[in-house]
Amino acid sequence: MSSARDPLHVTGEVLSVKRIGAYRHLTLVAPGVAERSRPGNFVAVSVGDLRPRSHQTRLSYWIHRVRNTGSHGATIEIIVEPRGAGSQWLTGLGQGSRVDLTGPLGRPFAQPKEPVSCLLVGEGHSAAPLFPLAERLRERGCVVSMLLAASDEQHLLAALEARRSARSVTVVTRDGSVGRSGRVADVLPELLAQVDADVAYAAGSVETLHAVAAAAEAHGAWSQVALELPQPCGTGLCNGCPLPVVGEDGVARIVRACHEGPVVRGDRVRWTALLEGA
């Protein structure tokens, strides 16, 4: 039977769809989902008209913010980058549209018990779950620094907002349109040393997460990486999201990214196997 910690499958309602840069910012009423969510959780959205539905696979989105609106209760916000058929359908929904979703899902970020120094690294839309994390860490007395990365300014998420939640914010873009020019890996070792990070939290492409895990290890810090591998169901049912890891027992195995992840310790991921798509 389900308990207060379990995810829910609900029919939500779109309250608003706003454009921010290359992304769409959706606010959804999803009863019960907001109340249960923790930083690093995601929702899995059923794509297409409610019935009949031609799209059988689902799409996952990080829970960006949870807000308590007076009139609609707690709402969730997600940041969607319109790409293929599914995300375009979702971002094309009008106010008041209904959407089936399940959440909160997955293992959230593990938070330190002590007030430590944390570096949060977010790339593109994947920076979404780092904002609520930054707030939680600050409440615990942690020193929070952020590194936001993107291909260009259009794909940079909420740098202004980051300055409110973090002590220092560094921005890198590949084309140099804003902040420093380069990639995460270029500035990471220097930044980890500068803020003397005890923990690195990261969300982005597999290559970026690999770079963060490696740099954190070299610096002597823990890393927590939030993976975005394709998740056909997002709920642990289909075994469609293989993630090669080394278990606590030292044994190499394949786990489900959506269920045993999507946030995992960086030193547990078998990066070579993952990058090769094994």
Partner 1 sequence: MDLGALTLNPPVLVASGCGGTGRELDALGGLAGLGAFVTRSITLDAREGGPAPRIVGTPSGLVNAVGLQNPGIDQFLARELPWLAAHDVPAIVSVAGSSIGEYADLGRRLGRSPGVAGIEVNLSVPDAAGLNIFDAREPFSAARVIAAVRRDLPRGMPVLAKLGPQSNRIGESARAVAEAGADAVVVTNAVPALMPDGRPGGLSGPAIGPLALRCVYEVRVALPDLPVIGVGGIACAADARAFLAAGASAVQIGTALLHDPTTAVRIAAELGGDPS
Q: Report whether 35 contacts 103 (CB < 8 A).
A: no
Q: From the list ligand FES, partner 1, ligand FAD, none, which binds 9 (C-beta under 5 to 8 Å, kind-based)?
A: partner 1
Q: Which of 171, 214, 238, 246 binds partner 1 (CB under 8 A)?
A: 238
**Amino acid making up residue 26:** L
Query: Which CB atom, from 53 or from 67, has the smaller least distance to partner 1?
Result: 53
For residue 277, state whether it binds partner 1 (rule: CB under 8 A): yes
Altogether, the residues listed in the chain come to a count of 278
Among 98, 230, 272, 275, binds partner 1 (CB under 8 A): 230
Minimum CB distance to ligand FES smaller for 238 or for 254? 238
Site string for ligand FAD, 100-139 (x = CB under 6 A): -------------------------x--x-----------
Taking the complex as a whole, the smallest distance from the CB of residue 107 to ligand FAD amounts, in Å, to 11
Closest distance to ligand FES from the beta carbon of 171 (Å):
32
Which distant-in-sequence residues (6+ apart) come within 8 Å of 104 by Cβ?
7, 33, 36, 37, 38, 41, 42, 43, 63
Binding partner of residue 22 among ligand FES, partner 1, ligand FAD, none, CB cut-off 5 to 8 Å per kind: none
- SS3 for 120? strand
Total residues contacting ligand FAD (rule CB under 6 A)? 24
Give how far Cα 235 sits from Cα of 63, 171, 210, Å: 15, 34, 25
Please indicate if the annotation marks 142 as binding a ligand: no
**Beta carbons of 88 and 100 less than 8 angstroms apart:** no
Distance CA 35, CA 31 (A): 8
Q: Which residues from 245-264 bind partner 1, rule CB under 8 A?
A: 253-254, 259
The reply to whether 46 sits near partner 1 by the rule CB under 8 A is: yes
User: In which residue are the tokens 């020193």 written?
Assistant: 143
Site map for partner 1, 97-136, x if CB under 8 A?
---x-x----------------------------------
The dihedrals phi and psi of 277, each to the nearest 5 degrees, come to: 75, 25
CB atoms within 10 A of CB 171: 17
For residue 169, count other CB atoms closer than 10 A to its CB: 19
- In angstroms and rounded to an integer, the radius of gyration of the C-alpha atoms of the chain is 18
The site that binds ligand FES (CB under 6 A) totals a number of residues, namely: 13
Report if residue 57 touches ligand FAD, rule: CB under 6 A.
yes
**Residue tagged 């910690």 (tokens):** 5
CB-wise, 18 or 55, nearer to ligand FAD? 55
Q: Roughly what angle, to the nearest 10 degrees, separates helices 206-219 and 184-194?
A: 30
- Burial level of 52, CB count in 10 A (0-12/13-18/19+)? exposed
Span 216-255, contacts to ligand FES by CB under 6 A? 231-234, 236-241
- Beta bridge partner(s), residue 120: 146, 201
Q: Is 118 annotated as a binding residue?
A: no
| Known binding-site residue numbers | 233, 238, 241, 258
| Footprint of partner 1 (CB under 8 A) | 1-3, 6-9, 46-47, 51-58, 100, 102, 229-230, 232-233, 235-242, 253-254, 259, 277-278
| Footprint of ligand FES (CB under 6 A) | 231-234, 236-241, 256, 258-259
